[in-house]
Amino acid sequence: MLAQPLLPAAAPQRSAWVGTVHLLWRSARPRSTSEVLSAAAVLVLLVLSKLLNLTLPLVLRLVVNALSAPAGGQPVAATAPLVLLYCGLTICSDGCSQLQSALWGRLSFRITQRVSLRLFEHLHALSLRWHLNRKTGEVLAVMNQGVGAVATLLQVATFSISATLLELVLTSAVFAKIGVPAISLCVVGGAALYTWYTVALTTMRVGQRREVNGASKRAQDVVVDSLLNFETVKLFAAEATEARRYGGFTTALSELQ
For residue 10, the model assigns a pLDDT of 45
212 pLDDT higher than 60:
yes
CATH class, domain 134-257, is: mainly alpha
155-200 per-position pLDDT tens digit = 887 788 888 888 888 888 888 887 778 888 888 888 889 889 988 8
Tell the burial category of 233 from Cβ atoms under 10 Å away from its Cβ (0-12, 13-18, 19+): middle
The most confident of 94-98, 139-143, 184-188, by mean pLDDT: 94-98
What's the CA gap between 104 and 22, in Å, rounded?
20
Distance CA(60)–CA(240), nearest Å, equals: 68
Decide if pLDDT at 72 tops 60. Answer: no
Q: What is the DSSP string of 92-117?
A: HHHHHHHHHHHHHHHHHHHHHHHHHH
Task: Decide if pLDDT at 4 tops 80.
Answer: no
Tens-digit pLDDT profile for residues 100-128: 888 888 888 888 888 888 888 888 888 88
Reported as a pLDDT band with limits 50, 70 and 90, residue 247 is: confident
Residue 39 pLDDT greater than 50, yes or no: yes
**H or E element at residue 64:** helix 33-67
Would you state the pLDDT for residue 48? Answer: 92
- Burial of residue 196, with CB atoms counted within 10 A of its CB: 0-12 exposed, 13-18 middle, 19 or more buried: exposed
Higher pLDDT, 253 or 76: 253
Taking residue 37's Cβ as centre, other Cβ atoms within 10 Å add up to 13
Q: What share of the chain is helix, strand, coil (3-state, %, to 5)?
A: 85, 0, 15
What is the pLDDT at residue 88? 92
Domain boundaries of the chain, sorted by first residue: 1-125, 134-257
What is the chain's Cα-based Rg? 27
Confidence of residue 44 (pLDDT cuts 50, 70, 90): very high
Q: What is the pLDDT of residue 92?
A: 92
Which of these, 183, 230, 171, lies nearest to 53 by C-alpha position? 171
Q: How confident is the model at residue 75 (pLDDT cuts 50, 70, 90)?
A: low
Q: How far apart are CA 194 and CA 188, in angstroms?
A: 10
Share of the chain above pLDDT 70, in %: 86
**pLDDT category, 143, cuts 50, 70, 90?**
confident
More confident residue, 48 or 158: 48
Q: Residue 219: which H helix or E strand, with range? A: helix 181-228
Of 8-17, 32-41, 209-218, the range with the lowest mean pLDDT is 8-17
Give the distance from CA 18 to its chain's centroid.
Answer: 17
| pLDDT class of 15 with cuts at 50, 70, 90 | low
Query: What is the C-alpha separation between 45 and 26, in angstroms, rounded?
Result: 23
Q: Which among 168, 34, 41, 169 is positioned nearest to 96, based on CA atoms?
A: 41
Tell me the CA end-to-end span of the chain in Å, nearest whole number: 42
